[in-house]
Amino acid sequence: MFSAAILIPAVLNGLLMGAIYALVALGLTLIYGVLHIINFAHGALLSAALFAAFFAFKLLGLDPYVALFLMAPVFFVLGYALQRFVIGPASHGDDRNMLLVTLGIAVIIENALLYNFRGDTRTIDVPYAFQTFNLGVTYLAVPRVVGFVAVFVVALALWLLMTFTDVGRAIRAVAKEKLGAQLVGIDVGHVYAMTFGLGTACVAIAACLLIPTYYVNPGVGNAFVLVAFTIVVLGGMGSVPGAVIGAFVIGVVESLSGLFLGESLGQIGIFLIFIVVLLLRPTGLFGARA
Please report, as ranges, the residues that interact with another protein according to CB under 8 A: 32, 36-38, 40, 86, 89-92, 94-97, 99-101, 103-108, 110-115, 118-119, 218, 226, 229, 233, 264-265, 267-268, 271-272, 274-275, 278-280, 282, 290
- The type of residue at 138 is T
Smallest gap from Cβ 262 to another protein, in A, equals 9
Q: Is 174 in contact with 34 (CB distance < 8 Å)?
A: yes
Nearer to another protein, 115 or 166 (CB): 115
**Region of residue 36 (phi > 0: left; psi between -120 and 50: alpha; otherwise: beta):** left
Question: Please, what is the minimum distance in Å from the beta carbon of residue 255 to another protein?
Answer: 18
Smallest distance from another protein to CB 75, Å: 20
Report the residue number, 87 or 154, with the smaller CB distance to another protein.
87
Residue 60 CA to residue 220 CA, distance in Å, equals 23
Q: DSSP letter string over 10-60? A: HHHHHHHHHHHHHHHHHHHHHHHHHH-S--TTHHHHHHHHHHHHHHHHHHH
Give the nearest distance from C-beta 72 to another protein in angstroms: 26
Single-letter code of the amino acid located at 8: I
Q: What is the SS3 assignment for 48-73?
A: HHHHHHHHHHHHHCCCHHHHHHHHHH
Smaller CB distance to another protein: residue 96 or 136? Answer: 96
Instruction: For another protein, give the closer residue by CB, 92 or 185.
Output: 92
What b/e sequence results for 46-68 when a residue is b if at least 16 CB atoms lie within 10 Å of its CB, and e otherwise?
bbbbbbbbbbbbeeeebbbbebb
Q: How far is the CB of 230 from another protein (least distance, A)?
A: 8
How far is it, in rounded angstroms, from Cα 115 to Cα 206? 24
Least distance CB 40 / another protein (angstroms): 8
Least distance (Å) from another protein to the CB of residue 21? 16
Q: Which is nearer to another protein, 251 or 284 (CB)?
A: 284
Closer CB to another protein, 130 or 260, in the complex: 260
CA dist 28 and 283 (Å) reads 15
Closer residue to another protein, CB minimum distance, 233 or 252: 233
